Amino acid sequence: MNGLKFFLVMSCICLVGFIGLPLERKQAKLSEHSIIPKPLEVVDREGSFAFKDGMGYQIDGDTDDLEYGIEFFTKFVKKSTGIELVQKDNAEINIAIDGSKEPESYSIEITPAGIVISAGAGQGAFYAFQTIRQLMPAEAEKGKTADIAIPAGKITDKPEYGYRGVMLDVSRHFFLVEDVKSLIDQVAKYKVNKLHLHLSDDQGWRIEIKSWPNLTNIGGSTQVGGGKGGFYTQEDYKDIIAYAASRYITVIPEIDMPGHTNAVLASYGQFNPGIELPEENRLAVDRKVLGVDGEDESATDLYTGIKVGFSTLDTKKEITYQFIEDVIREIAEITPGPYFHIGGDESLVTELEDYKPFIERAQAIVTKYGKTSIGWDEIAHAKLEENSIAQFWAKEKNIKLAADQGNKVIMSPSKHIYLDMKYDSTTRIGHTWAGLIEIDQAYNWEPTELVEGVGKELILGVEAPLWTESVENRQDIEFMVFPRITALAEIGWTPQGHRSFEDYKQRLKKHTARWDKMGMNYYRSPKLD
């Protein structure tokens, strides 16, 4: 009897094994692929399209911004299949640009005979290519993979929100241009289209301003922990912007004011109204070592700690406004994107009656130089310019003030999407003040449900900030950003009714194989097991 049982069990295992094998080899349907962010509509068809030697692409319709998308796609196909796609007539891959559609929208029709991409502009085509990339096996991320075929069907897709951003604080710790580019590449895959650079704070000024050179000579010379710091020359900054643009990402520069400005006060004492620096983590400025002539009695020490809220520009002096005008002008002149972020957060030592007119003047200067101003939610205490944008991070009542003035908002709820929060109590780096943010906490929120009375019509989009008090290098950035940025990307792209954490989790679980192939240092959440 026992022998018979054993025989039966073994035969079952073998049978399942034999049936299972071909099933597993069979290609997943289009709808079974783990695309992030989840596309709006996916229809399966029979068969698949195989990339083969001699294949090519053709472009129908006009657009001046397709070039980068094509460059990305042909390079990726070459790297993953070895095939050199060339432009030719009657090509297997057809890219049609239809300017009457929204620029970020796209559709992809895959048949055994070819692929037809239709997009509103180069940006939509780039997103179609990113989707196709995710239809290829994970191995394709690493290098040449034999025989790549993708399943037949049709994907029709477009974003829920036009603003889908990530913020990198390059002030608390400075990151090289190469590290910023790496982040740009990594987030572009998920159709993130904004990179907000937090370029100044108490601990460091990170962008060359030709009319005020001490900002970088002194203000850029250190960082949290007292390390070397650094800054971007205007040429570096333009390089980052051009690189981001080639991934259809707009850069938003932020100069935080009137608070978070100790790096300014250490560089030019004339803007210091007499602030009190925290006792710990001061660093005396050695002007000789830094190559700066003369003395400056009113300048503060540099600050290398992580306290916030102790600094302010002197809002009562006229020269302060000349200074911020120079800064805004120089940066606006080399920023092609429409936005300029004026910070405005945690100005705890600026009296409200001084804060409000300061913000109003700063906004007016931004407008004068042709940009739209964005500020952290506190700016809504001031009278906002018609098109100014408030960025929600802390206080719902501030966002209500902005909404009452009819201004649009960007949603960055700290308790859900602050990338500097720890995942759990064991996370090596990061803070906990907004809570622990595991992947479900990062995913389970909806922009229209954060602030009562602030619905879709007032929401420009979403952004995940990475503050870097404890983030020191590229590996740390990857660890805090991934996987959480994919949650942000999906919340910004996919309408609420089309997404759920369970479904996202299943896709993410498979998707991490790609990050393994790329050698990324992402957080391996126990929630994915």
Q: Provide the annotated active-site residues.
A: 346
Strands 282-283 and 302-303: antiparallel
H or E element that contains 327:
helix 318-333
| Cα 35 to chain centroid, rounded | 18
Q: Which residues fall within 8 angstroms of residue 399, CB to CB, at 6 or more apart?
A: 377, 380, 390, 392, 409, 450, 451, 454
The residues that touch ligand TNX, with contacts defined as CB under 6 A, are: 308, 345-346, 376, 393, 418, 420, 431, 467, 469
Find tokens 């009656």 and name the residue.
353
Pick the closer one to ligand TNX by CB: 167 or 244: 167
d(CA 464, CA 416): 9
Residue 466 CB, nearest distance to ligand TNX (Å)?
A: 9
Residue 391 CB, nearest distance to ligand TNX (Å)?
A: 8
Pick the closer one to ligand TNX by CB: 290 or 429: 429
Pick the closer one to ligand TNX by CB: 305 or 492: 305
Strands 408-411 and 163-169: unpaired
Residue 287 CB neighbours (<10 A): 16
Pick the closer one to ligand TNX by CB: 172 or 408: 172
Pick the closer one to ligand TNX by CB: 355 or 376: 376
d(CA 384, CA 407): 8
**C-alpha distances in Å from residue 98, one per residue of 59, 63, 66, 70, 435:** 11, 9, 12, 16, 45
Judge whether 261 and 303 are in contact, CB under 8 Å: no
Residue 431 CB, nearest distance to ligand TNX (Å)?
A: 5
d(CA 361, CA 315): 10
Residue 354 CB, nearest distance to ligand TNX (Å)?
A: 19
Pick the closer one to ligand TNX by CB: 393 or 493: 393
Output the CA torsion 293→297→299→303 (10° steps): 100
Residue 345 CB, nearest distance to ligand TNX (Å)?
A: 3
Q: Which phi and psi angles does 482 have, rounded to 5°? A: -110, 130
Residue 376 CB, nearest distance to ligand TNX (Å)?
A: 4
Residue 435 CB, nearest distance to ligand TNX (Å)?
A: 11
Pick the closer one to ligand TNX by CB: 438 or 469: 469
Pick the closer one to ligand TNX by CB: 372 or 414: 414
Residue 450 CB, nearest distance to ligand TNX (Å)?
A: 15
DSSP string, 341-404: EEE----TTS-HHHHHHHHHHHHHHHHHTT-EEEEEGGGGGSPPPTT-EEEESS-HHHHHHHHH
Pick the closer one to ligand TNX by CB: 30 or 224: 224
Judge whether 419 and 403 are in contact, CB under 8 Å: no
User: Which of 397, 467, 477, 390 is closest to 432 using CA atoms?
Assistant: 467
Return contacts of 288-294, CB within 8 angstroms, 24+ apart: 290/217, 290/218, 290/221, 291/217, 292/214, 292/217, 292/218
Pick the closer one to ligand TNX by CB: 119 or 437: 437
DSSP string, 130-193: HHHHHHS-GGGGTS--S--EEEEEEEEE--S-SEEEEEEE-SSS---HHHHHHHHHHHHTTT--
Residue 270 CB, nearest distance to ligand TNX (Å)?
A: 24
Residue 229 CB, nearest distance to ligand TNX (Å)?
A: 16
H or E element that contains 116:
strand 114-119
Q: Which phi and psi angles does 373 have, rounded to 5°? A: -90, 145
Encode 373-404: b = buried (16+ Cβ within 10 Å), e = exposed. Answer: bbbbbbbbebebbeebbbbbbbeeebbbbbbe
Supply the Cα-derived Rg of the chain in whole angstroms: 26
The amino acid occupying position 329 is: R
The amino acid occupying position 331 is: I
| DSSP-H helix ranges across 189-253 | 214-217, 234-245
